[in-house]
């Protein structure tokens, strides 16, 4: 037990890194996924196919490969990246971790929101058209808000998956919960104590996020409840 109390501050700072990396990736991934989902349902093949190729690749390969491709793979293009002034970015494990997680969650979220867009009742779109809305205004006012509500439970699952998947960044030396736990375990040989404690930390964060997302869902669907003020 002493080892856990002793390393508590470091594990807590690891938790902050885990939350920071996940939140950042979720936020950027969400902002990418909504427009990509709109392109994905486009009847024009030239718009939908590239997005499909992107989601197919990132959903069909393990996240670990994607992280390695970006972090180690970028080394093969050192000269080009150097010339473009991007090399220092790709040398940072933290940057590569966030980039990989962002692209990964953007791909999964795109498909989730595509399902949401396709689930918007046809009557609502017809009503909006009858009111004279079209194009961007139709998407902004009617389709996207409705699609987000429909897709929210599935999106919650994706966020939970990403939170857990963020543990992989420890493999490229980012000091998140798993990274800190691995380092302490390797030095102290207190393997099961530390890893069990890391697992407990993850469970707390996972169920905390789950609770927060249920609250958001409750708020999003507030207009559906009658007289429960």
Partner 1 sequence: MFDLDGYGPLLMQGAKLTIYVGVCAMVIAIGLGLIGVLCKFSRSATVRFLINTYTTVVRGVPELVLILLVYYGVPTLIQDLSAALGHPVYVSLDPFISGTATIGFIYGAFSTEVFRGAYLAVPAGQLEAARACGMSGALTFRRITLPQMMRHALPGLGNVWMVLIKATALISVIQLPELMRSADIAARNTRKPFTFFFAASLIYLAITIISNILQQWAEKRAARGVRRA
Give the binding site for partner 1 (CB under 8 A).
56-57, 60-66, 68-69, 72-77, 164-168, 170-171, 177-178, 181-182, 185, 189-192, 195-196, 198-199, 202-203, 206-207
Contact 145, 154 (CB under 8 A): no
**Residue among 119 and 145 whose Cβ is closer to partner 1:** 119
What's the min distance (Å) between Cβ of 200 and partner 1?
A: 9
What's the min distance (Å) between Cβ of 106 and partner 1?
A: 17
What's the min distance (Å) between Cβ of 188 and partner 1?
A: 11
What's the min distance (Å) between Cβ of 202 and partner 1?
A: 5
Q: At what angle do helices 144-165 and 2-40 cross, to 10 degrees?
A: 150
**Residue among 127 and 203 whose Cβ is closer to partner 1:** 203
Residue whose token pair is 């104590």: 193
* Residue 97 structure tokens: 């971790």
Distance CA 14, CA 92 (A): 17
**Residue among 148 and 205 whose Cβ is closer to partner 1:** 205
**Residue among 138 and 188 whose Cβ is closer to partner 1:** 188
What's the min distance (Å) between Cβ of 47 and partner 1?
A: 23
**Residue among 91 and 125 whose Cβ is closer to partner 1:** 91
* Residue 87 structure tokens: 């090399």
Q: What is the DSSP string of 55-122?
A: HHHHHHS-HHHHHHHHHTGGGGGHHHHHHHT-HHHHH-HHHHHHHHHHHHHHHHHHHHHHHHHHTS-H
SS3 215: helix
């Amino acid at each position: 037990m002493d080892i856990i109390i002793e390393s508590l501050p470091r594990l807590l700072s690891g938790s902050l890194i885990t939350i920071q990396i996940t939140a950042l990736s979720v936020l950027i991934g969400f902002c990418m996924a909504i427009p990509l989902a709109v392109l994905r349902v486009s009847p024009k093949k030239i718009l939908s196919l590239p997005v499909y190729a992107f989601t197919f690749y990132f959903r069909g390969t393990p996240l670990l490969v994607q992280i390695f491709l970006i972090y180690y793979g970028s080394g093969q293009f050192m000269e080009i990246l150097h010339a473009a002034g991007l090399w220092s970015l790709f040398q940072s494990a933290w940057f590569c971790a966030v980039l990989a997680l962002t692209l990964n969650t953007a791909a999964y979220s795109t498909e989730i929101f595509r399902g949401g867009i396709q689930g918007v009742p046809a009557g609502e779109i017809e009503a909006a058209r009858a009111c004279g809305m079209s194009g961007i205004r139709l998407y902004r006012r009617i389709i996207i808000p409705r699609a987000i509500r429909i897709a929210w439970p599935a999106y919650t699952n994706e966020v939970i998956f990403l939170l857990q998947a963020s543990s992989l960044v420890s493999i490229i030396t980012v000091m998140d919960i798993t990274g800190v736990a691995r380092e302490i375990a390797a030095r102290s040989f207190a393997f099961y104590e530390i890893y069990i404690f890391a697992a407990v930390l993850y469970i707390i964060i996972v169920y905390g996020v789950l609770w927060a997302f249920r609250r958001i869902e409750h708020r999003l669907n507030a207009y559906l409840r009658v007289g429960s003020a």
